[in-house]
Structure 1
Amino acid sequence: MKRVQLFVTCLADLMHPQAAIAAVHVLERRHVSVEFPEYQTCCGQFSYNAGYHHEAAILAKHFLTVFEASSHGESPDIVSLSGSCAAMVIQTYPQLLYEDALAQGESEDVAEHWKQRAVQLGERLHEWSMWLNQHCPSEPATTPKIPVAYHLGCHMRRLLPGAQDAAHMLGHYGIEALEPDDAEQCCGFGGTYSVTEPVISTTLADEKMATHRPITGEHGGPVLDQCGSRMSSPSERPPHPTRLTISRVPCGGIGGFGGSKASVRGTDSGGRTEGRPINGGTTPL
């Protein structure tokens, strides 16, 4: 049985909790054992993008410590629900921690030590849909595919090699991911500038949604969002890929879900584990 650690991300926790629940359901139905390191926090991307690199390094060190301590001496894959957060850990952590250690007066050896720890952990971390496509391939769907307007976030598109695998995975689960003509255009989220520059951010979001409407209007499907999401109000927020995928995965995996409670093994900073219900364990599929 495969084993993974779930990196929920603060964005999913605050804005898309149902996506995290759906991610656990999908993985367990594919016979994957899921663990949740309870002391995980923000990866530091917001601080880093805002120019607070030392503060981001503090969060990065905490992230490393939590996921290293909860691995029980092994190296299970870490599955992230955000492509941009995955890119932060994989692409940014090594140099960030190296430079921060030197800036804090640490020796070259200490700085290199932090860099290598970040590299090693980054090798374990994967974006959720990309990991699922690689490790849990599904038979091609036999039912008609659900057409959706698909948004692949900027960080994931540009910083994670093979990001288009996400759309391929959706195809195997009976979802036809359709991108608009300006697929590479930012949705307006872009980290902290969505707060500091709300007019620009909202304009970009409106333009992005306008390019999706011909797709959703023609095919009648929802917007499937990989970004976070900036493109609509909370009541209309596009679903994360996990939530649409769960409806297309047959029961029969671990626990044979079908309306039962979702649970995931939580790990504390000392590496101890115990079953933890997601959202009180009462959310229906």
Structure 2
Amino acid sequence: MRVALFLTCVNDTLYPDTGRAVVKLLTRLGVEVDFPMAQTCCGQAHYNTGYRHQAEPLARHFSDVFGEGGEGGYDAIVTPSGSCGAMVRELYPRMGERARAEGRGESLATALAPVVPKTYELTEFLVDVLGVTDVGAYYPHTVTYHPTCHGLRSLGLGERPARLLRSVKGLELRELPGAEECCGFGGTFAMKNSDVSAAMGTDKVRNAESTGADVLCAADNSCLMHIGGTMTRLRSGVRPVHIAEILASTEEEPLA
């Protein structure tokens, strides 16, 4: 199987180790991973802030890069980001339909149609496409899992991340109180409503601390960035780790 890694701009800029972990993990599972160098922002920040027309060229570029017209021939497009995965799967079709409704033709919807259904968040790709939950990982830590909003509500990841974590040797998974509550990041929400965002982040960190876990993990580094910043300010003993880095970790080559 040949897949394209859609790393996302947050990971590319701030968390490259997550991308390396995805490559290591998928390669270990026998997947051929390609990284299309022309990839850019998916347009989520523009779209969510109200600049929807400005997001359309980025969506079209995504299709050009990852679709048949680009390096192409991919069986799947895999991303370690629930929010960017949701942008492609949930909001790209809306963009295409809106362009059609506004009389701007079928071209955007047609361009996006091939890439939308084969874009997967990492954990759903592992469970639904590869059909695995035990990925051969070893991670001797106590861990609590935060289901990020886009993964939980837009992609419906459900128990997939937890099933993968429970199969990791040495890992003790502890339930997070208030797990389904937003961490307070929400992209530009954290900037426009900083006081509310900070209070929500504090609640999330305190709940994580109450579990006694060493690590809080999630499937989206944007949320982990917000939670991790809150942990630093509160001098918390818990640390944020992306689930990809846990699943890629082995006894021979621990990553985190």
* 1:140–1:233 CA distance, 2 compared to 1 (3 A): closer
1:180 lines up with 2:176 in the alignment: yes
* Alignment of structure 1 residues 66-81 onto 2, 5 Å: 66-68=65-67, 69-72=69-72, 74-81=73-80
Q: CA deviation at 1:124?
A: 0.6
Q: CA deviation at 1:242?
A: 1.1
Which SS does the other structure have where 1:224 is aligned? strand
Identify the residue that residue 13 of structure 1 maps to in structure 2.
Answer: 12
Identify the residue that residue 149 of structure 2 maps to in structure 1.
Answer: 154
Describe the superposition over 1:14-58 as per-residue Cα deviations: whole angstroms up to 9, x where unpaired. 222111111111111111110011111111111111111111112
Answer with 226-235 or 45-54: which moved more: 226-235
- Measured in 2, the distance between the counterparts of 1:46 and 1:143 equals 35
Overall identity of the aligned pairs, in %: 31
| Number of equivalenced pairs | 244
Q: TM-score normalised to the size of structure 1?
A: 0.77
- Measured in 2, the distance between the counterparts of 1:207 and 1:244 equals 24
Q: CA deviation at 1:184?
A: 1.1
Identify the residue that residue 224 of structure 1 maps to in structure 2.
Answer: 217
Q: TM-score normalised to the size of structure 2?
A: 0.85
Higher relative contact order (CA 8 A, sep 6+): 1
Which SS does the other structure have where 1:223 is aligned? strand
Equivalent residues of 1:94, 1:116 under 8 A apart: no
- Measured in 1, the distance between the counterparts of 2:122 and 2:137 equals 23
Q: Which has the larger radius of gyration?
A: 1
Identify the residue that residue 241 of structure 1 maps to in structure 2.
Answer: 243
Q: CA deviation at 1:187?
A: 0.5
Identify the residue that residue 59 of structure 1 maps to in structure 2.
Answer: 58
RMSD: 2.7
Among candidates 181, 187, 191, match of residue 187 of structure 2: 191
- Measured in 2, the distance between the counterparts of 1:28 and 1:144 equals 19
Q: CA deviation at 1:117?
A: 3.5
Answer with 183-192 or 222-231: which moved more: 222-231
- Measured in 1, the distance between the counterparts of 2:148 and 2:240 equals 13
- Structure 2: any 5+ residue segments left out of the alignment? 233-238
Among candidates 112, 118, 121, match of residue 124 of structure 1: 118
4+ residue segments displaced more than 4 Å: 138-145, 234-237
